[in-house]
Amino acid sequence: MKEHLLKILVIGDGNVGKSSFVHRYVNGQFNRTYKMTVGVDFSVKMLHWSDKEKVRVQLWDIAGQERFISMTRIYYKGAVGCVVMFDVTDSSSFLKCHQWKQDLDNKAMLPKGSSIPCILLANKSDLSHWAVPADRIEMFCKANGFFTRMATSVKDNKNIDEAMRSLVKEILSIQSSLDPPLPKTEDSVDPEQDSQLSNGAGQSCC
């Protein structure tokens, strides 16, 4: 069984729902009261990704309040994926995503220098008074190098697992394209070629 350890950052302005997102994803719970993150919080979730692979998702929930910004960027190093989140009812948190993404691209990159895969999450989609139109979110996502975007509601448990699964899938696909191929020996067997050995590995199971 192969185990992947993925350091994933969760960034965005204060009060957008980052800690709530992590808490929902890891513990399946939602809390209405706001408790500001100071510095960074860590959480881990283990995924049984396939018959042959486990993924240890290590989430770094970074404080979004302005006063912590100078100290939190040091935590970006070694990250292989990122969630950038804003609150759909707060247009300034959406505008700030540009800065969050630029900062990320300056401070964290993949071994060959390309930017780390990043998903844009429009959170609090359960609230009716959206301040950012969906077409603007889509344009921003394409123009700023996010591989995709999703509307989430931590409160209603909407698209939480889906967003993380999509990010993990993207990270693993990038990592496998960066890995040097193993040298083939005379008697090595390619499971893709051998239908008797093929067991559907690669499909997500959770």
Q: Compute the distance between CA of residue 129 and CA of residue 94 in angstroms, rounded to an integer.
A: 14
Contact status, residue 120 vs residue 142, Cβ threshold 8 Å: no
Q: Site for ligand GTP (CB under 6 A): which residue of 36, 44, 71, 134?
A: 36
| 117 binds, options ligand GTP, Mg ion, none, Cβ within 5 to 8 A by partner type | none
**50 lines the binding site for Mg ion (CB under 5 A):** no
List, as one string, the DSSP characters of 165-197.
HHHHHHHHHHHHHHSPPPPP-TT---TTT-TTT
**123 lines the binding site for ligand GTP (CB under 6 A):** yes
**129 lines the binding site for ligand GTP (CB under 6 A):** no
Q: Site for ligand GTP (CB under 6 A): which residue of 7, 8, 25, 64?
A: 64
| 123 binds, options Mg ion, ligand GTP, none, Cβ within 5 to 8 A by partner type | ligand GTP
Sheet holding 148-151, edge to edge: 40-48, 53-62, 2-11, 81-87, 118-123, 148-151
Which residues ranging from 51 to 70 are in contact with Mg ion (CB under 5 A)? none
Q: Using CB under 6 A, which of the segments 12-20, 51-59, 99-107, 108-116 binds ligand GTP?
A: 12-20
Contact status, residue 190 vs residue 196, Cβ threshold 8 Å: no
